[in-house]
Every structure is written in structure tokens, then in C-alpha cells.
């Protein structure tokens, strides 16, 4: 009875405090709409507090960029207490998040909660495959689920907001950040971008209130994927046609999917830094696309406009960024230092500050942070969620779906499950760190299941492991360069002996997980270190090799493509790498991945991509040198976009269109029959490409405009239907107008971008 009274009193007290708060802080009234609450709060804010909302600081330990001068913990705490910080990044864990949130909510005048951001790129602690690998699954449902797992874990650890998805279309494998995106194609990239936004945020904005959802961030706006020569942070100089048709579509798709934030990029676009780019951020994003969330700068990118030679000093960089619509300053320390004075001097209009603050507050309200600033601060949930069985199973599933079978000429795969002597060779086979990839700040080192551990689960074969040679020298980390072993071959002999005595050799070769990602551009796409030499030495003693590639970008492997009978693309598959690889090698999972980026024959072909243009001399009609080609290597890729084999075989037949002549606006209906004519059940990605054969601005010779992932039991046939509408048949002109032009179209349907059944139609 006594207890009941206390409870009643407690409830009454809480209610009264809440009510008092609502009177003193009318924006806490949940009955009001979000827009009403914003308009109740904004007039109460001083200019300093408004600018504070536009300021984001890094946490106190991990950094994901250059550490700024003067960015001490003391300064951050002082600014937090004054209400001069709207967000923090890379603070993680319930305890740490609660501590900073408490300062914002309880020690500042208005108690505006922080929004806590983090690079949840391919998982939080339980890691999925790197995003490029996930893209190879072409499985939108699985990709959405993978993002949902990441959101689940991150949100349980105090995080409200991820800096993902990266939707940069990219076709230059020299650029290390191709691992973060969905590859070279804007159509596939757009579909994947939507799946990732929904996975992080939920299907609707209302879902953001849920405890296991976080705000997403489409990045890097824009064209970062086209840095010249694949050189990190370099300039971008591209045509309007490329911008409108290749770069922007995935960004637009995320806006339509409800993404709540955007991040701009380090690069200049045709001479103007993205961070100070009025055309990109104000005209297109906030104007044409009506995006009402907020834009965060990239790490120190506001200050970097000075080094670019676009802003003359800190004041100028600050003003240019705000005017261009960069709403929040990540780690430049400029808005907080300069913006108040610039407004007072009339150099930046306060209305622009108000616009930025409204956007930031909107997202905070949508996340429910005003109603419960500690919604992601539940230690019990943190413990129960991170690394739980469902999440482990989920990333394993995603990892298997991401694997691409590139070659299986002699049928070495799937491996027999018993009576085999298997030599497993390569330092990466026994590596528990590299498979985690490069974005894994919340994960512990050496926590991946290695390929060796995965293979050891299959106990009825005789397995021996030899590294052959170390891949790297010393330790490596997110912040440091990888140094390769180029001299120590002392393990070669033992590896050769193991290979000689084996029925099958499985070699795990490629790049270390820290060799791709931000700041990791390369000019050499061959197998690094001593690996090519090791491969050729092993081949001499036993050519029955299954090559398992680990890499964060397309590699050039011309020798292996010619000589090695089986090649499996296994990327960096995250926490469950070894189990996924072993299950595929042993046939417990039939691979169905398809490449989301073309693999070059050598680095000189880069950038190489399937959706290229014809040129005026596409073929050798006169048997002389005057046609578009290289004199030293074929111009086709080693492995094209959309390519990937299976343990079974798929036959395509009966490609049909409902008509051959269409009026503009009419739907083109296409069907094709696909049969599994091999010996395993499997999945196939059926792909539809179009070619608009002549247009006012030339169109690529192939453009992906539809795909479907189908399950086919052995012997089974399915009919797959596609519909082409104006949305797929048009393109953007150089002013950004969408045009559907009459003319003839070719279509191709198949299991890869390089071949398939062909047909065509006319559009009037």
C-alpha cells in the first residue's frame, strides 16, 4: 500500500515536472507537431545557441580524420556546457553517450539534445561485408536487413545517426573508397541506396522514433567517386551529362526514400568545392529536390576550402559554406568560432542560420530525442543486442550472398567433403583482422572468423595450412599505411611442400582490409607483395588451385585468370568471413553474386566500366590500327560488371516483347524464360540492359534498367517479367532536364552485362 502511494506520488511529481517543463519549454509539448515545436524553440535561442546547433565535435578518443589544432577535451566540454555543440561524432557506448548527452540536456539553458553520429558503414560491432561486397549480392532485401542489423547494434550503443550510405558511383579501382559504395552503376546503386536508407531508418520517417532505427546520411555530395586519376581528395572535373546521369541518381533516390541527412564531399566539382557549392546544395538538393533534412560537411571540409584556393581565410570559408547550405560543421571548428560575428557584421544572413537550425532540430525531433534524449542509452539493451546470435546469423547470411564465383573451369568446386588432402595457403587465410575491412571503429581487432577457422569446421578432409609469406610488415591500423612484405620468402618452401602433397590447393590472396578505404588510393592493382610470385611457384607444383580473393576493390589478375582453374571473389566479408567462404567452397551454399564493378586486365584500362559509349570507331572494320583499341591488351575487362558464375547452369530463352512499336508513355513489357539446367539448386540475377541507339546526347551502349534475383531449383524454369516506363527510357540533358526521345532501342537480357538475348523496339 505504502509502495503504491510512493508510485502514485512519483508519477504525479514526474507529471508535474513534465508539465512545468512544457510550460517553460513549450517545445517539449508532444501534442504539437514537429514544425510547431521547431517554431516554439527557435525564437527562444540566442544567436550563439543557434550556431552551436550547427557545430559538431569529434569525441575524445578515436579520430577519423586529421586531429584539429586546439580541439582539446577541455574546450569541447566547455562548449558543450554553453550549448555550443549540436552533435558529436565517434562517441560510442551507452556510458560515454549518456555522459555527453547529460551535459547537453541538463546543463545547458534550453536542454537541446545532441545527435550522436558515427560511421556505421558495414555494421557496428558485428560486421557485415564491406558495402561493395554486399552490392555484389544484388539482393536488396538482404542489404536492407544488413543495414537494419547495423542500426540495431549502433542504436543500442548510444548512436542516433550513421554517416551512411555512401552512394558514390565510382569506376576507378585506384580509388580506395570504391569499397564503401555500390560500384559503377547508377541504377543498381540507386536501388541499393534505397535499401540501405530503409534498413537504417525504417520505411517511413515515423520509424525514426523506434529505438532500433537511426538517421541515415547520403554521402558524399557530390561526385567524390570521380576524383581524378583515382587519387584521394583530388579534384573532380566531369561533364554535366555524367553528373546528372551517373552521379546524382542515387542521391535523388535517397531523398525520395526519406533520407534525413546528407554529407558533402572533400572534392571540388568543376572548380568549386562541394562544401561551398551553391549549385549542388541549394539549387539541386534543397531547391529542386526539396530536401528538408540537413547537410553535414565532411571532416574539416569547410576549412579545407582555404587549401583548395577557394576561400581566402577562415571567415571567408565559414561564410561560403553557410551560404552554400552546409548546415553543420564537422570538425572545422569554424562555425563555432566565426559565424556569430559574421552574422552580426551582416556578412551572413541570420535567416540562413535559422534555416540550418530548423533542419537540424527537425531531425532531432523526428528521432524523438527531445522526448527521450536517452532513448539509445539503455545498458541492458546494449548488452543484449551487440553481437547477439541473430546479428551474427544475419551477417553470415549476407557474407555468403556477397561471394562471386569468377571461374570454375575444371570443376574443382565445390570441394569434396571427405577423403581430400587440402593445402590452405596464404597469410590472409589465417588472418582474423583483415576480413573486418577498413571501417570498423567499434569492432575489436582480430574478431573475424578466418578462412582457416571456417575450413576447419569441415573435419573429414585433411587440411594443412602454410602462409607462404607474410602479406604485411608490422602492425597496421585505420590511420596508418599498410607496408608490404616484399623480401621475406622464407615460408615459400613449406608452402610448396604442402601444395605438392595436396589434392587441391586453396590460396587466399589479395589485399589487406586496411588497404582499401579512405586515404588508400593505389596505382597498382596487381596482387600486392610477394603473392603473385607465391601463386606462380605453387602452380608449378600443383595447378589444382582454388584462388580465394580478398579485396576492397577490383584487382587485375590476368595471370590467375588465365591459369588458375577456380577463382572465388570473397572481398572483405566481415565478422563471419571464414564460415561464409568455407560454406561456399564446400557447396553448402551455391554462390550467386555478380560483380558490381568491372575488373580490369591491367591498371592502364582504368577507369573501365560496362556503360561506356560507342566512339566513332568501335570496331576494326578495315584491319588496320585506326580504331578505338589498345595495341597491347584487349579493351574488354577481365571480368565484366554483372558477371558471376554458379555451381549450376542457367539457360535463357524466349525473350519476348508485347509489341515492337510503342508510343511515348506506353509501358514496354518484356519477358524471358530462365531454366536451371545444371545439378544444383541456385539463384540467378536476371539483368535487363537497354541501348538508346541515337539521341540528342549520346547514350551508353548498355545501361542496366532492371534486374531480378530468382531462386531456381535444378530443372526448374521461370518466366521473368520486366516493365520499361518513361522512367527507364529517358536521360538527363546538360541542363538537368529529363528527356524521353523517340527512336530505336536495343534490349539485352542475361546473366551478365557482356552477353545475353537481344531484341529491340521503336519508340514514337
Q: Which run of H or E residues covers position 128?
A: none
Compare residues 91 and 557 and give the one whose CB is closer to ligand NOJ: 91
Nearer to ligand NOJ, 64 or 277 (CB): 64
DSSP-derived letter for residue 215 is: B
Which of 413-424 are b and which e, b meaning 16 or more Cβ less than 10 Å from the residue's Cβ? bbbeeeeeebbb
Q: What share of the chain is helix, strand, coil (3-state, %, to 5)?
A: 35, 20, 45
If one asks whether residue 262 binds ligand NOJ (CB under 6 A), the answer comes out as no
Name the minimum Å distance from CB 275 to ligand NOJ: 12
**Does residue 299 belong to the site contacting ligand NOJ (CB under 6 A)?**
yes
Distances (CA, A) of 15 to 9, 108, 369, 605: 10, 22, 19, 68
CB of 331 to ligand NOJ, least distance (A): 8
Q: Give me the phi and psi of 39, to 5 degrees please.
A: -70, -20
Quote the least distance from Cβ 312 to ligand NOJ, whole Å. Answer: 24
Alpha-carbon gap, residue 674 to 654, rounded angstroms:
9
Closest CA to 261 of 178, 164, 190, 195: 164
Cell of 107: 546543463
Q: Are strands 217-221 and 261-264 parallel, antiparallel or unpaired?
A: parallel
CA distance 501 to 480: 39
Residue 640's CB is within 10 A of a number of other CB atoms, namely 20
φ, ψ for residue 712 (rounded to 5)? -135, 120
> With respect to ligand NOJ, which residue has the nearer C-beta, 65 or 131?
65
Smallest gap from residue 293 Cβ to ligand NOJ (A): 16
Nearest approach in angstroms of CB 219 to ligand NOJ is 6
In the block, cell 589487406 appears at 512
How many residues in total does the chain contain?
764
Q: CB-wise, 41 or 227, nearer to ligand NOJ?
A: 227
Cα–Cα dist 610/598, whole Å: 7
For residue 256, the minimal CB distance to ligand NOJ (Å) is 22
Closest distance between ligand NOJ and the C-beta of residue 180, in Å?
8
Per the CB < 8 A criterion, the answer to whether 261 and 161 are in contact is: yes
| Minimum separation from the CB atom of position 175 to ligand NOJ (A) | 12
Q: What angle do CA 31, 290, 255 make, to 5 degrees?
A: 90
Contact characters 496-535, ligand NOJ, x per CB under 6 A: ----------------------x-----------------
Beta carbons of 373 and 110 less than 8 angstroms apart: no
* Residue 334 Cβ vs ligand NOJ, minimum distance, rounded to whole Å: 16
**SS3 readout for 476-500:** CCCCCCCCECCCCCCCHHHHHHHHH
CA distance 303 to 307: 8
Q: Supply angle C-alpha 4, 7, 9, rounded to 5.
A: 110
Specify whether the CB–CB gap between 213 and 287 falls below 8 A. no
Residues 138, 188 contacting (CB under 8 angstroms): yes
Q: Shortest approach of ligand NOJ to residue 365 CB, angstroms?
A: 23
Q: Which residue's CB comes closest to ligand NOJ?
A: 64
* Cα–Cα dist 413/395, whole Å: 23
* Residue 50 to residue 133: CA distance in whole angstroms: 41
Work out which of 298, 304, 382, 692 binds ligand NOJ, going by CB under 6 A. Answer: 298
Determine which residue in the list 65, 183, 510, 552 makes contact with ligand NOJ, applying CB under 6 A: 65
* Alpha helices per DSSP H over 512-571: 531-541, 558-563
Least distance in Å: CB of 251 to ligand NOJ? 14
> Which is nearer to ligand NOJ, 266 or 458 (by Cβ)?
266
Our CB check for ligand NOJ shows the closer of 221 and 650 to be 221
- The 553-592 contact track toward ligand NOJ, x by CB under 6 A, reads ----------------------------------------
Exactly one of 168, 298, 327, 692 is catalytic; name it. Answer: 298
Q: Is the Cβ of residue 172 or residue 431 nearer to ligand NOJ in the bound state?
A: 172
Mutual orientation of helices 248-256 and 186-201 as an angle, nearest 10°? 30
Among positions 161-180, residues that touch ligand NOJ (CB under 6 A) are 163
When binding is defined by CB under 6 A, the residue of 53, 64, 326, 575 that contacts ligand NOJ is 64
Q: Are 653 and 751 in contact (CB under 8 A)?
A: no
Query: Which residue's C-alpha cell is 569554424?
Result: 334
Looking at beta carbons only, is 119 or 329 nearer to ligand NOJ? 119
Q: Count residues contacting ligand NOJ (CB under 6 A)? A: 9
Beta strand pairing call for 743-750 and 757-763: antiparallel
- Distance between CA atoms of 390 and 394, rounded to whole angstroms? 6
Kindly state the smallest distance separating residue 90's Cβ from ligand NOJ, in Å.
7
Between 71 and 565, CB nearer to ligand NOJ? 71
b/e map 354-367, b = 16+ CB within 10 Å: bbbbbbbbbbbbbb
Among positions 324-383, residues that touch ligand NOJ (CB under 6 A) are: none
Q: Is 256 a catalytic residue?
A: no
Which three cell numbers, joined as nine digits, stand for 527?
Answer: 596482387
Question: Euclidean distance between the first and final Cα of the chain, in Å?
Answer: 82
Return the C-alpha cell found at 267. Answer: 572534392
Q: Which of 122, 174, 198, 219 binds ligand NOJ (CB under 6 A)?
A: 219
| 224: its cell numbers | 567524390
CA–CA dist 197, 202 (Å, integer): 7
Considering the complex, state which of residue 118 and residue 731 has its C-beta at the smaller distance from ligand NOJ. Answer: 118
Q: Which is nearer to ligand NOJ, 223 or 413 (CB)?
A: 223
> 180 vs 184, which CB is nearer to ligand NOJ?
180
Question: Per DSSP, what are the bridge partners of residue 324?
Answer: none
Q: Peptide bond before 514: cis, by omega within 30 degrees of 0?
A: no
Is the CB of 306 or the CB of 657 nearer to ligand NOJ? 306
| Contact (CB, 8 A) for 329 and 304 | no
233 makes contact with ligand NOJ (CB under 6 A): no
The interface with ligand NOJ within residues 100-139 (CB under 6 A) comprises: 119
Question: Please, what is the minimum distance in Å from the beta carbon of residue 302 to ligand NOJ?
Answer: 13
- Tell whether omega for the bond before 414 is within 30 degrees of 0, i.e. cis: yes
Active site residues: 298
What does the binding site for ligand NOJ look like in residue numbers (CB under 6 A)? 64-65, 89, 119, 163, 219, 298-299, 518
Amino acid at each position: 500500500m505504502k509502495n503504491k502511494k510512493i508510485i502514485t506520488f512519483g508519477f504525479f511529481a514526474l507529471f508535474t515536472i513534465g508539465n512545468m517543463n512544457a510550460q517553460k519549454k513549450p517545445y517539449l509539448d508532444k501534442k504539437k507537431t514537429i514544425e510547431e515545436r521547431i517554431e516554439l524553440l527557435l525564437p527562444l535561442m540566442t544567436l550563439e545557441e543557434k550556431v552551436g546547433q550547427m557545430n559538431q565535435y569529434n569525441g575524445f578518443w578515436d579520430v577519423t580524420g586529421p586531429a584539429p589544432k586546439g580541439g582539446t577535451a577541455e574546450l569541447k566540454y566547455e562548449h558543450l556546457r554553453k550549448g555550443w555543440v549540436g552533435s558529436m561524432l565517434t562517441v560510442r557506448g551507452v556510458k560515454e553517450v549518456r555522459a555527453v548527452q547529460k551535459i547537453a540536456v541538463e546543463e545547458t539553458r534550453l536542454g537541446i539534445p545532441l545527435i550522436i553520429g558515427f560511421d556505421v558503414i558495414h555494421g557496428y560491432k558485428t560486421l557485415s561485408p564491406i558495402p561493395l561486397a554486399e552490392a555484389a549480392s544484388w539482393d536488396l532485401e538482404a542489404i536492407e536487413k544488413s543495414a537494419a542489423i547495423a542500426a540495431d547494434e549502433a542504436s543500442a550503443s548510444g548512436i542516433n545517426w550513421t554517416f551512411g550510405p555512401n552512394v558514390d558511383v565510382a569506376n576507378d579501382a585506384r580509388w580506395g573508397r570504391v569499397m564503401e559504395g555500390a560500384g559503377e552503376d547508377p541504377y543498381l546503386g540507386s536501388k541499393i541506396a534505397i535499401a540501405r536508407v530503409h534498413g537504417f531508418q525504417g520505411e517511413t520517417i515515423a520509424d525514426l522514433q523506434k529505438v532500433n532505427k537511426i538517421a541515415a546520411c547520403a554521402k558524399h555530395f557530390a561526385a567524390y567517386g570521380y576524383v581524378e586519376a583515382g587519387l584521394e581528395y583530388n579534384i573532380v572535373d566531369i561533364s554535366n551529362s555524367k553528373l546528372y546521369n551517373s552521379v546524382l541518381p542515387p542521391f535523388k533516390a535517397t531523398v525520395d526514400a526519406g533520407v534525413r541527412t546528407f554529407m558533402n564531399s572533400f572534392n571540388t566539382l568543376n572548380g568549386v568545392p562541394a562544401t561551398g557549392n551553391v549549385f549542388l546544395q541549394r539549387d539541386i538538393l534543397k531547391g529542386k529536390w526539396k530536401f528538408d533534412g540537413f547537410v553535414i560537411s565532411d571532416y574539416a571540409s569547410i576549412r579545407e576550402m582555404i587549401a583548395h584556393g577557394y576561400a581566402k581565410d577562415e571567415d571567408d570559408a565559414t561564410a561560403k559554406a553557410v551560404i552554400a547550405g552546409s548546415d553543420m560543421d564537422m570538425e572545422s571548428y569554424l562555425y563555432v568560432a566565426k559565424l556569430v560575428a559574421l552574422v552580426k557584421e551582416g556578412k551572413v544572413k541570420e535567416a540562413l542560420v535559422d534555416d540550418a537550425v530548423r533542419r537540424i532540430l527537425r531531425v532531432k525531433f523526428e528521432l524523438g530525442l527531445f522526448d527521450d534524449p536517452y532513448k539509445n542509452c539503455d545498458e541492458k539493451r546494449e548488452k543484449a543486442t551487440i553481437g547477439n546470435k541473430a546479428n551474427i546469423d544475419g551477417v553470415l547470411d549476407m557474407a555468403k550472398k556477397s561471394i562471386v564465383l569468377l571461374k570454375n573451369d575444371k570443376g574443382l568446386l565445390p570441394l569434396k567433403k571427405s577423403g581430400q588432402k587440402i593445402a590452405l595457403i596464404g597469410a590472409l587465410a589465417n588472418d582474423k583482422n583483415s576480413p573486418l575491412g577498413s571501417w570498423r571503429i567499434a569492432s575489436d581487432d582480430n574478431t573475424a572468423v578466418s578462412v582457416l577457422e571456417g575450413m576447419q569446421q569441415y573435419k573429414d578432409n585433411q587440411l594443412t595450412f602454410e602462409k607462404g609469406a607474410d602479406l604485411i610488415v608490422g602492425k597496421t591500423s585505420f590511420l596508418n599505411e599498410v607496408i608490404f612484405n616484399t623480401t621475406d620468402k622464407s615460408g615459400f618452401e613449406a608452402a610448396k611442400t604442402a601444395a605438392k602433397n595436396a589434392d587441391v590447393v586453396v590460396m587466399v590472396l589479395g589485399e589487406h582490409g586496411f588497404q582499401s578505404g579512405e586515404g588508400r588510393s593505389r596505382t597498382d592493382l596487381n596482387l600486392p607483395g610477394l603473392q603473385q610470385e607465391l601463386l606462380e611457384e605453387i602452380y608449378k607444383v600443383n595447378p589444382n588451385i582454388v584462388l580465394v580473393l580478398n579485396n576492397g576493390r577490383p584487382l587485375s589478375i590476368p595471370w590467375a585468370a588465365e591459369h588458375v582453374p577456380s577463382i572465388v571473389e570473397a572481398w572483405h566479408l566481415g565478422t563471419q568471413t571464414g564460415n561464409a567462404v568455407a560454406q561456399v567452397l564446400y557447396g553448402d551454399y551455391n554462390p550467386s553474386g555478380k560483380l558490381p564493378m568491372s575488373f580490369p586486365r591491367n591498371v592502364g584500362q582504368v577507369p573501365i566500366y560496362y556503360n561506356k559509349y560507342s566512339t566513332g570507331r568501335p570496331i576494326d572494320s578495315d584491319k588496320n590500327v585506326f580504331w578505338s583499341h589498345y595495341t597491347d591488351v584487349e579493351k574488354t575487362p577481365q571480368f565484366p560488371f554483372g558477371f558471376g558464375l554458379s555451381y549450376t547452369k542457367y539457360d535463357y530463352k524466349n525473350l519476348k516483347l508485347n509489341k515492337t512499336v510503342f508510343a511515348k508513355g506506353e509501358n514496354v513489357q518484356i519477358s524471358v524464360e530462365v531454366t536451371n539446367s545444371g545439378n544444383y539448386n541456385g539463384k540467378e540475377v536476371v539483368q535487363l540492359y537497354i541501348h538508346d541507339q541515337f539521341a540528342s546526347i549520346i547514350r551508353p551502349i548498355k545501361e542496366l534498367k532492371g534486374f531480378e534475383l530468382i531462386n531456381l531449383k535444378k530443372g526448374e524454369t521461370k518466366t521473368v517479367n520486366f516493365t520499361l516506363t518513361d522512367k527507364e527510357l529517358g536521360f538527363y540533358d546538360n541542363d538537368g532536364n529529363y528527356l524521353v526521345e523517340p527512336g530505336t532501342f536495343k534490349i539485352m537480357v542475361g546473366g551478365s552485362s557482356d552477353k545475353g538475348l537481344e531484341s529491340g523496339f521503336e519508340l514514337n
